[in-house]
A and B are shown apart, each in its own frame.
Chain A
Amino acid sequence: MYPLKYHKAASVDDAVAILTKGDSAKLLAGGQTLLATMKQHLAAPGDLVDIRAIAGMSGIKAEGDTLVIGAATTHAEVAGNSDVAKLCPMLASLAAGIGDPAVRHAGTIGGSIANNDPAADYPAGLLAVAATIVTSKRKIPADEFFDGLFTTALEEDEVITSIRVTRPKRAAYAKFRQPASLFALVGVCVADGAGGVRVAVTGAGDDGVFRHDGLEAALAAKWSADAVKGVKVASDGLLSDIHGSAEYRANLIRVMAGRAVAAS
């Protein structure tokens, strides 16, 4: 790790201020991604702004039918929260399937979506339920937030403060793990919610999380695992790497979509 200056931000404004004037400053949440890249000298922020102590940054509350999840809320908290279990159990089970216990108790929802790893779980879940990402500047619909591999709509000096999820009629997430990392080789979230019937796929797209039109059409017509079976999933635009070919991922998208529907 290169030498750097650590700041514990007291407020969102404080964090934004350091981000603006710091030396390639970066926000630190759970550190599960950022610290590893810093240790490998792949990232070298001069200023590191820890946002976890900011009041209101973590924790979950229900506002009517809408869940408001603080950006610094850990995966373990989401997995174990009773409001999440009531309003969107899909998110609880998604969070419970991230990494291992150590990762789940440190990693945060804000860090995960800011990082937008193409194999991360939250992007599929949040895109499928048409969540809203609330930042220090604005409210960004999930459709506009996720923007390709490790890229988001966030600006340099923008801090995610919370994520808003409106209770879907039904939703479920099915994940097939990459054997080494346990990230999603393919993860499929099916939802019938604020954004209508949606199928969001992570792990498989060569440009990050995406929605699958064919599967959405089939499920909009009939919400059943059988409806998914007949859908052709093309391998165009899918990732091919040492863990899975595009054809294999295409197969898994169909299989996982069916399993998600069955579990919904």
Chain B
Amino acid sequence: MSTGIGARVKRKEDKRFITGKGKYTDDIRGDNQAYAAFVRSPHAHARVKGIDIAAAAAMDGVIAVLDGKQLTGDGIGNIICGWAVSSKDGSPMNMGAWSALATDRVRYVGDAVAVVIAESPAEARLAAEAVEVDYEILPANAHADRALSKSAPQLHDNAPGNLIYDWEIGDGAATDKALAGAAHVTEMALTNNRLSPNAMEPRSAVAIYDASDEHYTLYTTSQNPHVARLVLSAFYQVAPENKLRVIAPDVGGGFGSKIFIYPEEITCLWASMKTNRSVKWTADRSEAFITDAHGRDHHTTAKMGFDKDGRIVGLKVDTIANLGAYMSLFSSSVPTYLYATLLSGQYNIANIHCNVRAVYTNTVPIDAYRGAGRPEACFVVERMMETAAREMGRDPAELRRLNFVQAFPHQTPVIMAYDAGDFDANLDQAMAAADVAGFAARRKEAASRGKLRGLGYSSYIEACGIAPSAAVGSLGAGVGLWESAEVRVNPVGTIEVLTGSHSHGQGHETTFAQIVAERFGIGLDAVSIVHGDTDKVQFGMGTYGSRSGAVGMSAIVKAMDKVEAKVRKIAAHVLEASEADIVIEGGQVKVAGTDKAMGWHEVGLTAYMAHNLPPDMEPGLKESAFYDPANFTFPAGTYICEVEVDPDTGETEIVQFTASDDFGTIINPMIVEGQVHGGIAQGIGQAMLEQVVYSDDGQLLTGSYMDYAMPRASDLPFFSVHNAATVCPNNPLGIKGCGEAGAIGSPPAVINAITDAIGNNNLAMPATPQAVWNAIQAAK
């Protein structure tokens, strides 16, 4: 059976995970291990007037009680946002100071003020409860739409009116003019609900300080250990990079939440040095709810104008984005360059304008969460399209088709240049698979059972593989977004691939091995993937934005190109042939058209023995490469959701969910389908179940699974997943990326289906039974 590109190879890593042999951060034990517990603010907003550690310090097992004054006193820097977004008047964003341990003020429930280091987790936690913090409680606000009002409490002195930036993209005047001349304008207010990421493995850190050479090792739950090291070193001055090793071992899910550098990792590193002990911290689930960066929380009004034939003439969008109490690592980019640049959807829209105001509130910081900005954009565009079709009495599929971009490359008015796609093909495939033609009959049959049946579309597009370094640099990114790889062929011909991508559920150990094994004609087991350790892999930008295929694998291909070039030279020399005649296949390196050949392993051996190499050739067989993409990639597709609503209770059942995706080249369809399933599950979670709720004064009301509803298997239908692909012209494998599409494309399909069923277009996410029932009552 083939194990190459396109083969459904079972995941190599699963044996380890299924048999409980995975090694996660919390499984690591440093020498002389001690444990950290954080003292956290129970108030959403308060002045810290004093911290009394006397009682805690005297408790059993307590090694140290440390606070923010000591931390800043030791020169540990503030936590920063690494993407500079300026306001439309040119002024820089207003970034408030965020110390890993608060010094004078706390700004959300969960904000850390001190840390206890003790001999056991239980002792640390008991002592943390005994730390007495004198708080002067201040008025608080949790809601984005209130943050800008005059009466709202002010969070940061350097952000007047709680405004972080007032940013725009596109041509406002031209868009206004287009809308003024439109035959029909659809106008909507849309909220993108706030989500908690809920990776299965809670965040954890083990910091190990070695006083003998002032060296630090940090095991951490990270999607990008090199970025973590860079930021910890350059901005927080924890240690110079050569004295800091960051290891992200097995990581149990991230969904974005493990991209960022959090107060706990910084504090553990510093505390390890202070106490000369290894320091471990692992969040419990309650702590995860109040410290892991949340996602979404957009409040938008939008207008979409159409000419008399149904062609879109303009789209105007105004969004308030909640960034929480502080600016997390990439928070600024999510509601701007990862959001507004996708507002053209799959459509030809000549005029687009979007204004975004990002605000501070007394809530957990918000940052990238699966899809990051693109689900918010897709929700706006696809809710507007469906609503407009209903208002104009047009078929929603045909309205989309009429406006689809047909010719590529296509430059949108909001930066993105789509490189390839066939939007009709995905729509056709989804409609056929969903049997849209039979829907009317199904609706009738459901009505006979007292159920309301509805169907909704979502034709999504997103931008993946972020992205050309120079391009993101010009937009304010503080990092380059290339990827690196090293391909080491051992003397016996086995191969290790060192990659800067990080796997925390994506199956890289399998898919990356597939492309290498196929290229050199060796077995899958002869290829090992090494990642997640800054001492092993030279550098890497990590895994997020569905970039590991398009960018990470491309780097591997570039490195393999170099290996192949050297292999050809060696084989040509040994076999006395011309390089051009060398072919690599079936574990052999051959001279085409002859019976002259050497085994793949013999090439490795030759390279390392160095007894018989071409003149001037260096021994060894190891090449590395950096790959910087030429463009984003643009996965796209159409999702169709069909629901049945119980009008008596508002309970909604998804009876059918159909996906047709264009992900470019697919390395392993099984893994890709898994990504789509997971993404759709998360999208359905957002659409129907999940919602972080704060009280007006900033207390978290959904702090456990008793109140925060995660999707369960029983909430989900069997997904009907299909693929109609065009090849991405901008990377060597033609890959577009599949990690986020499900979460991006599905929410509007679900809401469009429910609103179709109940005949009321005014329905916010999550469409809980209560919300759907309310909407049914309102429509009566």
Contacts and interface: CB of A to CB of B under 8 A. Distances in A.
B648 to A, nearest CB: 5
Given A248-B773, A251-B773, A180 B705 contact: yes
B649 A179 contact: no
B708 interface: yes
Contact of A245 (B693, B702, B770): B770
Contact of A255 (B649, B702, B770): B649
Contacts of A40: 286
A1 interface: yes
Interface in A162-192: 176, 179-181, 183
What does DSSP make chain A's interface, helix, strand, loop or mixed? loop
Contacts, number: 43
Contacts of A181: 705-707
A253 to B, nearest CB: 11
B479 interface: no
A179 B689 contact: yes
Given A40-B286, A242-B702, A255-B649, A180 B709 contact: yes
A180 B198 CA distance: 14
B768 A243 contact: yes
Nearest to B125: A41
B707 A242 contact: yes
Interface in A40-70: 40-41
B609 interface: no
A179 B709 contact: yes
Interface in B678-710: 689, 693, 701-702, 705-710
Contacts of B768: 179, 243
Which of A3, A252, A255 is most buried by chain B, counting CB atoms within 10 A of its CB?
A252
B238 to A, nearest CB: 31
B769 interface: yes
B122 interface: yes
B126 interface: yes
A180 B706 contact: yes
A141 interface: no
A243 B702 CA distance: 11
Interface string B759-777: 0000000001110011000
A148 interface: no
Interface in B658-696: 689, 693
A242 B701 contact: yes
Contact of B770 (A1, A41, A183, A243): A243
- Size band of the B side of the interface? 20 to 34
A248 B770 contact: yes
B561 interface: no
Contacts of B129: 41
A244 interface: yes
A97 to B, nearest CB: 13
A237 to B, nearest CB: 19
A120 to B, nearest CB: 13
A38 to B, nearest CB: 12
Interface in B495-524: none
B577 to A, nearest CB: 66
Given A40-B286, A176-B649, A179-B689, A244 B705 contact: no
Contact of B649 (A2, A243, A245, A252): A252
A181 B706 CA distance: 4
Contacts of A3: 122
Interface in A226-249: 242-245, 248
A206 B681 CA distance: 34
A180 B710 CA distance: 7
A114 B266 CA distance: 45
A46 to B, nearest CB: 15
Interface string A1-45: 111000000000000000000000000000000000000110000
Nearest to B715: A179
A180 B692 CA distance: 12
A2 B707 contact: no
Contacts of B650: 248
B770 to A, nearest CB: 5
Contact of A248 (B126, B709, B774): B774
A251 B649 CA distance: 8
Contacts of A2: 126
Interface string A146-170: 0000000000000000000000000
A118 to B, nearest CB: 13
Contacts of B286: 40
A252 B649 CA distance: 7
Contacts of A180: 689, 702, 705-710
Contacts of A243: 707, 768, 770
Contacts of A252: 649
Given A2-B126, A41-B129, A180-B708, A242 B649 contact: no
A242 B769 CA distance: 12
Nearest to A249: B770
Contacts of A41: 129
B648 A1 contact: no
Contacts of B769: 176, 179
Given A40-B286, A255-B648, A244 B770 contact: yes
Nearest to A3: B122
Contacts of A242: 693, 701-702, 707
Contacts of A255: 648-649
Interface string B451-471: 000000000000000000000
Minimum-distance CB pairs A-B, first 9: A180-B709, A179-B709, A181-B706, A255-B648, A244-B770, A248-B770, A242-B693, A180-B707, A179-B689
9 contacts: A40-B286, A179-B689, A180-B708, A183-B706, A243-B707, A243-B770, A244-B770, A245-B770, A255-B648
